[in-house]
Amino acid sequence: MPFATNGNVRLFWKQDGANTRPALLLLTSILASNAMWERLVPFLTDHFRVIRMDPRGQGASSAPSGDYTLAELAADAWAVLDAAEVDRALVCGLALGGLTALQMAADRPNRLIGVVVANCSVSIDRDLWNDRIVEAHQQGLRGLVTAALESWIDPRQRDSLEQWIDPLEQTMLANPVDGYCGCAAAIRDMQLVDEIRDLRVPLLVISATGDRATSYSPKGQRVVELVPDAAEVQVAGGHLACIENPGAFATGIGRFYDRLRPGGLGLDPARNGERIRREVLGDPWVDQSLASRDEWIADYQSYATEVAWHTVWGREGLDYRTRRLLVLAITAAVGRWEEFRLHVRSGIQQGSLTVQDVKEAALQAGLYAGVPVANTAFAECRQLFREMGIAARDC
């Protein structure tokens, strides 16, 4: 079990992926451990040497008493990279992890390839964080953990994500109060606004469309507005979009790194295509398809993965939801009901479509392709919804 040290602080870290790949360091939100990245990591290891750590005060790392600072958290991250013998890295942090990544970029820009910050604000309500520190000292962490997860994860997604959320919740509850309070103080006292205006490291901001936990007020305090050359991508999901929507989250990181690579080399089409295919259709369906692979179908599957999934679905022009709606309309119009059902099912299961989205697509297809198309689309959906356990009242 690897540990790094920074002074008297012992820091837990782990690695996934080959040493020959570029290093990507993942930094967690407050309360969370490196378990928050568990669902995302498989989407990254084809491209990166993924290093994730527990910051001081959280997970398996030491929890010294007293207030922490972002400078200390950044120094801890450097200690982990040193222990892993990494000279330069891409760093991705969410919330507190994003603030830490920005502090790293301000302190030692020459050691970073680029920085990705997700669902992170530099507009801090000091009174709010003081109140949370007082609550932790007086009542412990259970109430804070419950409130955090309620705001971090869309309640409608909680059951389907329980295999990732439940272990994370247990590690959150196991954190020492002193550790939480130290990290909360680092957020409360952070002073990054002026430091990042002249950031000399390429920056990507990932914003989740359903994030209810991050405050972006007052106006002008969003990271992307403070850094003139920052890029931004939006992904579906809540505060922990790395769990709700890992494929899109990973694709954002991969495309960002791709733009930074010498010579403009692209992502590997086969690996990136499979990653996107899994995000759009789900692991079970892709695994079943690959299990039937033989010499007869292998060339076609490779063609479809690289051309359909990497080249077309992987383009930046449209998000997955829009592409899926187009697929529903077109497959309904040409009567390819097997493909229509596949995308209705996977769209709802993967969280990029709602039942209402499907209804609107069927109505639109009926308007432009004829009432018989809508008749069949609604009938196909009714049967499919029964199979998925979706009641009529939910439609």
CB contact set of 68 (below 8 Å; sequence gap of 6+): 56, 57, 182, 183, 185, 186
Lowest mean pLDDT segment, chosen from 242-246, 267-271, 344-348, 382-386? 267-271
Average pLDDT over residues 370-382: 95
Q: Is the pLDDT of residue 270 over 80?
A: no
> Residue 217 — pLDDT band, cuts 50, 70, 90?
very low
> Residue 267 — pLDDT band, cuts 50, 70, 90?
low
Average pLDDT over residues 244-264: 80
Q: Tens of pLDDT along 161-212?
A: 999 999 999 999 999 999 999 999 999 999 888 888 888 889 999 999 888 8
Average pLDDT over residues 143-156: 91
Percent of the chain with pLDDT over 90: 61
Report the half-sphere exposure of 10 (CA within 13 A, side-chain side).
Answer: 7
Q: Is the pLDDT of residue 262 over 90?
A: no
The closest alpha carbon to 153, from 211, 206, 97, 96, belongs to 211
**Strand ranges (E), 247-367:** none
Report d(CA 182, CA 318) in Å as an integer.
42
The closest alpha carbon to 253, from 263, 243, 265, 267, belongs to 267
Report d(CA 71, CA 49) in Å as an integer.
25
In 299-315, which positions are buried (b, 16+ CB within 10 angstroms) versus exposed (e)? eebeeebbeebbeebbe
Q: Is the pLDDT of residue 216 over 60?
A: no
Q: Is the pLDDT of residue 219 over 50?
A: no
pLDDT higher at 53 or 223: 53
CB 124 within 8 A of CB 188: yes
DSSP 8-state assignment for residue 9: E
Report d(CA 247, CA 307) in Å as an integer.
18
3-state secondary structure of 16: strand
Two tokens at 46? 């084809």
Task: State whether the Cα torsion 268-269-271-277 is positive or negative.
Answer: positive
Angstrom distances, CA of residue 245 to CA of 77, 263, 316, 329: 26, 30, 16, 24
- pTM of this structure: 0.70
Report d(CA 149, CA 36) in Å as an integer.
12
Q: Is the pLDDT of residue 21 over 70?
A: yes
Domains and CATH numbers, the chain: 3-264 (3.40.50.1820), 269-394 (1.20.1290.10)
Average pLDDT over residues 266-290: 80
> Residue 123 — pLDDT band, cuts 50, 70, 90?
confident
Average pLDDT over residues 49-73: 97
Q: Is the pLDDT of residue 1 over 70?
A: no
Q: Is the pLDDT of residue 381 over 80?
A: yes
Query: Rounded to 5 degrees, what are φ and ψ at 214?
Result: -95, 130
Report d(CA 288, CA 46) in Å as an integer.
21
Q: Is the pLDDT of residue 214 over 90?
A: no
pLDDT higher at 392 or 194: 194
Average pLDDT over residues 203-225: 74
Q: Is the pLDDT of residue 158 over 90?
A: no
Q: Is the pLDDT of residue 218 over 50?
A: no
CB 138 within 8 A of CB 153: no
- The pLDDT of residue 173: 96
pLDDT higher at 228 or 66: 66
Two tokens at 87? 């000279």
Average pLDDT over residues 377-381: 95
- The pLDDT of residue 288: 86
**Strand ranges (E), 28-166:** 49-53, 89-94, 112-118
Q: Is the pLDDT of residue 108 over 90?
A: yes
113: burial class by Cβ within 10 Å (0-12, 13-18, 19+)?
middle
Q: Is the pLDDT of residue 4 over 60?
A: yes
Average pLDDT over residues 136-142: 97
Q: Tens of pLDDT along 342-372?
A: 999 999 988 888 999 999 999 999 999 999 9
CB 219 within 8 A of CB 250: no
3-state secondary structure of 205: strand
**Strand ranges (E), 202-349:** 203-208, 231-235
> Residue 284 — pLDDT band, cuts 50, 70, 90?
confident
- The pLDDT of residue 121: 86
* Mean pLDDT of all residues belonging to the chain: 89
Q: Is the pLDDT of residue 309 over 70?
A: yes
pLDDT higher at 270 or 321: 321
29: amino acid identity, one letter:
S
Q: Is the pLDDT of residue 266 over 80?
A: no
